[in-house]
Structure 1
Amino acid sequence: MSDRLSRTLAEYAASVRWEDLPPETIHEVKRRLLDAVGVALAAFAEESPKAARAYAYEWPVASGATLWGTAFTAPADVAAFANGVMVRYLDFNDTYLSREPLHPSDVIAPLLAVAEWRGLSPADFITAVAIAYEIGVDLCDAASLRAHGWDHVNYIGIATAAAAGRLMGLSPEQIEHAIAIATVPHAAMRQTRAGELSMWKGAAAANAARHGVFAAVLASKGMTGPFQPFLGEMGLVRQLLAGEPLDEAALASLAERRPPRRILDTYVKYWPVEYHAQSAVDAALQLRSELGDPGRIAAIHIDTFKAAYEIIARDPEKWRPRTRETADHSLPYIVAVALTDGRVTRHSFSRERLQDPALRHMLESRVTLREDPELSAGYPEGIPNRITVTTTDGARLVREVRFPRGHARNPMSDDELVAKFRLNVSERLSPAQADVVVETIMHLESQPGLRHLAERWRL
């Protein structure tokens, strides 16, 4: 059933051992788990996570996986979806930018669900996460789905299926079947992120990961998947890439079975906004500090790069956002609220803030934006945004940021990441509970198992 691409992914997933992991990879997996738990708990009471949990509550299974924040357990694929929606909802989990953008920590909730359900060790889980990052990030370097109208979450499904197969001890052939089952029947369209955005923006990756878990379980029971899922006559390359071949040189780390390190190339978000706007927030807040009174703002001009323009500025809905999903993907809204409020938090996208007449007037009458070819040339190495504020007395204040805090070229320290976690859980966990979660996760490999791990952050 093989094609060389599915075989490369499967053999890589099956080959990596705990002993192969570099210490810095192990440490970074633990950092990303802590970050994922923090952003998930911050989103616990939001409407989309509540809807996903309501679905999961229909499927009680005593020996399943825990819904984060609760004592309820459900089948692994159901828990993968519910927990994954929480991780993704605030658009505050990590990112990678290349030919295709990705939120690679979308693999963490589903893989923890599988590991908990199967009674596996922390070492098994950490290894699986490192594998999934390696596969997902390399696929982003190899080909753009977005350029052909398909969504990046297809890569999450593939990476999750391969790593879940590894967790379950499947053979390379079985992992290939899992990859095929996750890939061919479940192609996700880019319409999820076009125009006005719905709750599904934050659920699409969780759904792809759920398919990955489902595919691995099916393959473990003997189900075979479509042959040649990538290179076949109607496979991914022809259907999702319009026949444009993947750059197989980008998959060299997989083909050569190198120890997984690509997690170190990915970025932790400092602000709860779409990643292409992270540097715009940094620039806007620097300007706000210099500006002082936002009442001095006469005009705001944003120079940005092509990918940011296409994803978070071009659609007319981005200039009149009506949902939080649209607003945290709106470059003009994000810059305007940062300059006005002097901060950007999850509350910046509340219904009340979206409907504020003064903020809407600013977007309509004072904000302009253009794609700058010079800035476009600096992507994806950096994410360059330049903000210019003209004041009521005619002064021009300019800031440009290329590598925002959290970028691989400007990484957050452990202390900063822990501070982000504490802020995210401050409305859900006591300081003492937060201390326990930090200590447990940052020393995860020494824990006796994963069965009761989520009890540490039960609300």
Structure 2
Amino acid sequence: MSSGSDLCHTFANHVAQTHFEDLSPEAVDAAKKSILDVVGVSLAGSGMEPAVHGVADVVLDAGGRPEASVLGFACKLPAQSAAFVNGVMAHCLDFDDQTPWGAHPDSSVVPAVLALAERKGKVSGRDLITSVALGQDLFVRLRCNVGWRQDWNLSSVVGAFSSAAAASFIQGLSREQIAHALGIASMQSSGTMQVIFGIGSDLRGMYAGFTAQGAVMAALLAEKGITGIADLFEGKAGIFNVYFGGKYERDKMLEGLGKEYLGSSMLYKAWPAVGNVHTYIHATIELMREHGLKASEIEQIKVFVGDFHQRMCYPIELRREPTTLMDAKFSLPFCVALAAVRGGIRIADFSALALRDPEVLAVARKVVPVADSSLDWKVKIPDGRMEITTRDGRRFERAGDNVPGSPEAPLSWDAIVTKFRDCASVAARPIAARKIEHAQEMARNLESLDDATMLLKAFTQ
């Protein structure tokens, strides 16, 4: 496959030419935070999401060469299998990081590069950071500059390429091999938003596993000489024409390429629920706190919703009383009710017991969605707005602005470390506090490690 003008060759050159020294301090910091954050939420997923155990049973039963760690289960599997299970766990709680425009790159990028780093051995912290920064950068460039109509699930459709690029860097592929790997990864570029909108499916929390596994496979096949697609993105039947009707902004995808690494914009969640409900969660917590309200005083909660928010409200009865943890995390009425009753949300608050909590369910039945087209999702979803009416006739309104974990109020390192401790404490297998502390210290200083996989040894030995 000759090096042509298609963007896959441009991106391949970019990945092949990037060095740690090219990254800004902000991009380095974001990559390190994302690595720690994904490891943490994966550990939590191993203990908190029941569906994970079915996945683990299938993959562990198949076995294979012990190349890479499965977080939370203290065992090793072939790199592809480990990337799959870890990817499933990374997104299953919807607690992983996201871009300011929505979508999740790192629940597939980080499991893929960690699996290959362990398989390869002696991958430096600098190289691990660079691989994640490259994956984040490519993801944002693609995600923000295609003609999306809330049809494709961009986390998996775009994530296939960002994860393959990151995996290719870890594997030390040439620019030609990287272009091939991107083409091979297109076989995993799939998934529609129905997996997000629907009710009752475990796949909504699992898609990152397929993407991470595909990225590992793409890099390993390209290394063995398997060829990709010459005009992958811009060909007549390429990704941009078929998936996005030919609507993409090439110049913006290339703007600042190699000079600005856009992963520095990554956001880290304060609560384990879909990012679009966080503005409502925050508004609820603040209204209850500011006015000293009790859940028993609430008569009605109006939530003003745009087009995407409405997806989290209907069918209204099923959203008010979700039957699975994944549906609960994507239910606006349930999340608002949980925040009102508990005064906050922690990882342990999303449990099978919470789904049956009569106080939470009673408040959820009082949540009424009100359509507001000014809150429709264009590029960045506007802050949600809500109104609480009490039984004695008082009315309180608030917009969910300055939300913890938003660009206006990003989580600090200390906050992310606190989240990591909370997540690691509910892993499937108990982890000693000293190991948790050692892991977060290594993540903060990852660029100094000669072997970045030392970070994982706290959870596998």
TM-score of the superposed pair, with normalisation by structure 2:
0.91
Deviates more, 1:224-233 or 1:105-114: 224-233
1:99-143 residue CA offsets vs partner (Å, 9 max, x unmatched): x63343431111111112111222111110000000011111112
Matching residue of 1:114: 116
Where structure 1 has 5 or more consecutive residues not aligned to the other structure, the ranges are none
* Alignment partner of 2:252 out of 220, 236, 250: 250
State the partner residue of 1:338. 339
Given the alignment of the two structures, is residue 65 of structure 1 paired with residue 64 of structure 2, yes or no? Answer: no
Structure-2 residue corresponding to 1:224: 227
Counterpart CA distance in 2 for 1:70 and 1:361 is 37
Residue of structure 2 equivalent to 1:17: 19
For the Cα contact (< 8 Å) 1:382–1:402, is it kept in 2?
no
Distance verdict in 2 for CA 1:186–1:35, change over 3 Å: closer
What is aligned with 2:94? 91
Cα distance in 1 for residues equivalent to 2:395 and 2:67: 59
Show the 5 A alignment for 1:129-208: 129-145=132-148, 147-184=150-187, 186-208=189-211
Distance 1:304 1:123 in 2: 43
- String of CA shifts for 1:322-351, please: whole Å, max 9, x gaps: 211111011111111111222223343322
Q: Residues 56 and 78 of structure 1 are in contact (CA less than 8 Å); yes or no, is this contact kept in structure 2?
A: yes
Report the secondary structure of 2:303's partner residue.
strand
Q: TM-score, normalised by structure 1?
A: 0.92
1:240 match? 243
Per-residue CA deviations over 1:148-205 (Å, capped at 9, x if unaligned) read 3445311111101112112212122211111111114542232211221422111101
3-state SS of 2:271 partner: coil
Q: Cα gap change, 1:413/1:451 in structure 2, threshold over 3 Å: closer, same or farther?
A: closer
Counterpart of 1:250 in structure 2: which amino acid?
A: K
Deviation (angstroms), 1:388 = 0.8
Residues 349 and 70 of structure 1: CA distance in aligned 2, closer, same or farther (over 3 Å):
closer
Query: Is the contact between residue 125 and residue 446 of structure 2 (CA under 8 Å) also seen in structure 1?
Result: yes
- Most deviating of 439-448 and 294-303: 439-448
8 Å contact from structure 1 (residues 405, 412) kept in 2: yes
Instruction: Give the Cα separation in 2 of the matches to 1:431 and 1:72.
Output: 20
Is contact 1:282–1:404 with CA below 8 Å preserved after alignment? yes
Residue 295 of structure 1 is matched in structure 2 by 296
Higher mean alpha-carbon deviation, 164-173 vs 213-222, is at 164-173
Aligned to 2:279: 279
Question: What is the CA–CA distance in structure 1 between the aligned matches of 2:104 and 2:88, rounded to whole Å?
Answer: 15
Greater relative contact order (CA < 8 Å, ≥ 6 in sequence): 2
CA distance in 1, matches of 2:331, 2:252: 31
- In structure 1, the partner of 2:350 is 349
Q: Secondary structure at the match of 1:283?
A: helix
User: Superposition pairs for residues 297-336 of structure 1, below 5 Å?
Assistant: 297-310=298-311, 312-316=312-316, 317-336=318-337
* Identity rate, percent: 29
1:372 corresponds in structure 2 to 372
Amino acid at match of 2:294: D
Residues 22-33 of structure 1 mapped to structure 2, 5 A cutoff: 22-33=24-35
Query: Residues 26, 150 of structure 1: CA spacing in aligned structure 2 closer, same or farther, 3 A cutoff?
Result: closer
Aligned with 1:299: secondary structure? strand
**Any idea what the Cα deviations from partners look like across 1:380-427, whole Å, max 9, x if unmatched?**
456401121100100001121233111122111111111111222234
Q: 1 CA distance for matches of 2:315 and 2:9?
A: 39
Contact 1:304–1:384 (8 Å) recurs in 2: no
Answering whether residue 130 of structure 2 is matched by residue 127 of structure 1, we say yes
3-state secondary structure, aligned to 2:158: helix
Distance 1:146 1:114 in 2: 34
2:418 corresponds in structure 1 to 419
CA distance 1:92–1:144, change in 2 (3 Å): farther
Distance 1:215 1:103, change over 3 A: closer
Unpaired segments ≥5 residues, structure 2: none
Task: Please tell me the residue identity of whatever aligns with 2:141.
Answer: D
Contact 1:14 1:170 in 2 (8 A): yes
Q: Which amino acid aligns with 1:50?
A: H
2:173 match: secondary structure: coil
